[in-house]
Structure 1
Amino acid sequence: MLSLRLHKTVFVFFINTLLFSWCNSFAFAQEELNVSDSNETFEKNGICYRTLNQSEVEVVMSPRTAYSGTLKIPASIKYNGKNYVVSAIGDYAFSGCDSLKEINLPHSVRQFGEGAFWKTPQLKRINIDKGKTRLFTENGILYKGTTLITAYNPDLNCVVKAGTSTIASYALCGNNSELLSVVLPESVDTILASAFQEQTSLDTIILSDNVKFIGDRAFQGCSLLRNIRIPDQVRHIGYFCFYDCTGLRNVHLGKNVEEIGEGVFYDCISLRAIYCHCPTPPSMLHIENGVFYFSNESETIEVYIPKNSETKYRNSCDWKEFHLTFSATIK
C-alpha cells in the first residue's frame, strides 16, 4: 500500500478553466466535406444555413431565435438561384434549444458538428427520411454508422448498440438528467471530449478493455460517479477528464497510462484510493492548475502501485511533490 498525503498549494482557479473545451484533441472519423474558404450564412423557412462549398450547406444555430417544436430539415434548398444539398449539421446547431421536441433529418446529412444536440432536454424524437444513409436511431439514440452521435431519449439504464466504436463529443452530455447507468459494448474504443459531461445522475459506467482514447472533460461533472477503471490500452487521460466528479472515491489506472492531463482529478473531494497499475509512474501535466486539487488538505489518499516500482515513484518529480510515503505495494 502506498499512502499519499496531499498538501495543496492555495491558488486562484481562473474563470477560463471553467470554460468548455470548444475543440476536440482528437477528431473522430467521419466523411470529409469539401469546405470553401468563403462561406455565406442565410435563413430560409425558419432554418439557418451556411454554405460549405458550391453545392453543399450545413444547418447552423439561429442567431435570432432558438429552434422549437418540430423541425423538418429538407434534403436540398435553393438559394440565389442555385441548388444546395443539406449535407451537415454544424457545431452547436441546436444547442440550447430548450423547446425543440422533434427533428426530421434528411438522408443527405452525413456529418455532425461538435455539440450539435447539446442542451436539448425536450428533444424526444429524431426521424430519418427514407433514402441511402448511414444514419439510424435505436432506443432513443442517433447513430451514424459505428458512431454514437447523441442519446436524445435513451432508457435510464442505457445500453449502447453492439458494434459501436466511437462515442461522439457531447453525445450523452447533460441532456438526460435521470440517466443512471451506461453499458458500453466491447467494440467501443474511443470516447471523445465532453461525451458524458454534466451527466449528474450517472453513477455507473464500465469501460471495456478495448477503450484506447478518452478525451478532454469526458466525465466532467458526473457528480454521482463513484468508481472508474481506466483500461490498459489508454495512454493519455484528457485534461479535466474527471473534474468536479465530487462523488468519485476509487480510480484504477491501467498499466499503460503514460500521461495524466491537467486538472484530471481537480475538485474530486471524495477521492480516497488510486490503484495505479503502471510500472512506470505516469507523468502529470501542470500547465496552470496541476492534476489534483482538493478542498480538504487533511484528507489522505491511498495509492497502490505495482511491485518493484517504489524507487521509480519515489524518484518521480511528478509524484514526489505530493509527499509520497510508501508502506507496501499492490500485487
Structure 2
Amino acid sequence: MNTTEDMNTRLTKEDQALIKKARRNKCSGPIYSEDGLRLLKVLGNPEYLEVEDGVKAICDYAFQGLNNLHDLVLPASVVDLGEEAFASCHELFKITMPGVEFIGKECFGLCDNLKEIALPETLRQIRAGAFACCKALEEINIPSHMKIIDKSAFRNSGLKSLNIVISDDCKCWIYDRAFAYCKHLESVYLNKNVKIVERMAFADCTSLKTIEFEQPSLTCCAGEINATMLIGCTSLEKIIVPKNKYNHYPDFNIQGYESAQFETRDFNSLITPKE
C-alpha cells in the first residue's frame, strides 16, 4: 500500500513542464504524470469529472478554483489527496472517493456547496483545515480506524451533529480547533478511543447543547490538562461522562461550567463498533 512518503503530491519541475506543454497545446481536462500514477492538474473548467483508474494521488492544487465543477468521482486506487487539491471549488456538491487514506491540508477549504461526501473506511488522516468553511456540510461519517483529525479540520463548517466511534484497535487524536466555530453543531458523542489533544477543539460552537464522553481525555501535547475545548459554547446544557467513574478523572475539570451540567451514564451496555 502506498503512503504519503512514497506518493508525493508536490509538483516536480518535470510535472510543471508537462502542465505548461498541455496549456501551450490548449489541452483541456486532467493532465497526468508520465507514469499515470498522479493527476497533476485539471485544465479548463469541467462540470463533471471521473478520474482514470490506477491513479494513486491527486496533486497539490490540482482542481483548485474550478468554479464550474459540481460532481467528481475518484477510483478506489486514489489514496492521497494533496494540499488545497479542491480548494475554492465553490460549486462542488458531491465527491466519491472509495479508497482515500489521506486528505491533505485545506484540501476542500472554502468548498461552500460541498454536501455529499462519504469518508471511506480506508481513511486514516484528515489534515489541517481540510474541510474548513464547508458550510453546506451538515453531516459526516468518521471512519472507525481514523487516526488523526488535524487542526481546524472542520472549522466553521455546517456540521449539525458529530458521532465518533473508533475501533478498539485504534486511537483517534483530535487537534486544536478541529471543530471550532461550527455554529450549527448541537450534539457530540466521543467514544473511549477518541483523544482530545491541545486546545479549543469545540471552541465557539454556539449551538452545542450536549457533549458525551465514553472516557474523558483532555491531556494536551505538553502534558497539562486543558479546559478550553468548550470555551464559547454558550448554549451548552449537558456534559455526559461515565457513571460512577467521574471521580476517577480528577483532572477532567472544565472551568466555567456548573457541576449541575454534568450528567453520568452507565456505559457498560455500549455496543462496540463493527470491525
Partner in structure 2 of residue 277 of structure 1: 214
Higher relative contact order (CA 8 A, sep 6+): 1
Residues 119-162 of structure 1: CA deviation (Å, up to 9, x unaligned): 432346xxxxxxxxxxxxxx61345824263567998465542x
Give 3-state SS (helix, strand or coil) of 1:311's partner. Answer: helix
- TM-score when normalising by structure 2: 0.67
Please give the residue correspondences for 1:1-331 in structure 2 after superposition, counting only pairs within 5 Å: 29-31=4-6, 51=13, 56-58=14-16, 70=28, 73=31, 100-102=44-46, 112-123=58-69, 140-142=72-74, 145-147=77-79, 149=81, 156=93, 158-161=95-98, 163-175=99-111, 177-222=112-157, 224-232=158-166, 233-278=170-215, 280-284=216-220, 290-294=228-232, 296=234, 299-313=235-249, 315-316=250-251, 319-325=253-259, 328-331=263-266
Q: One-letter code of the match for 1:321?
A: Q
Please identify which structure carries the higher strand content. Answer: 1
- CA pair 262-202 structure 1, distance change in 2 beyond 3 A: same
| Cα RMSD, aligned residues only | 4.4
Identity %: 18
Structure 1: gaps spanning 5 or more residues: 1-27, 36-48, 63-67, 77-84, 125-138
Residues 264-295 of structure 1: CA deviation (Å, up to 9, x unaligned): 112211111101111x5332469999433317
Structure 2: gaps spanning 5 or more residues: 21-25, 267-275
- CA pair 31-246 structure 1, distance change in 2 beyond 3 A: same
Q: One-letter code of the match for 1:260?
A: V
CA–CA separation in structure 1 for the residues paired with 2:211 and 2:31:
48
Partner in structure 1 of residue 271 of structure 2: none
Quote how far apart the aligned CAs of 1:198 are: 1.5
Quote how far apart the aligned CAs of 1:237 are: 0.2
Partner in structure 2 of residue 13 of structure 1: none
CA–CA separation in structure 1 for the residues paired with 2:17 and 2:74:
17
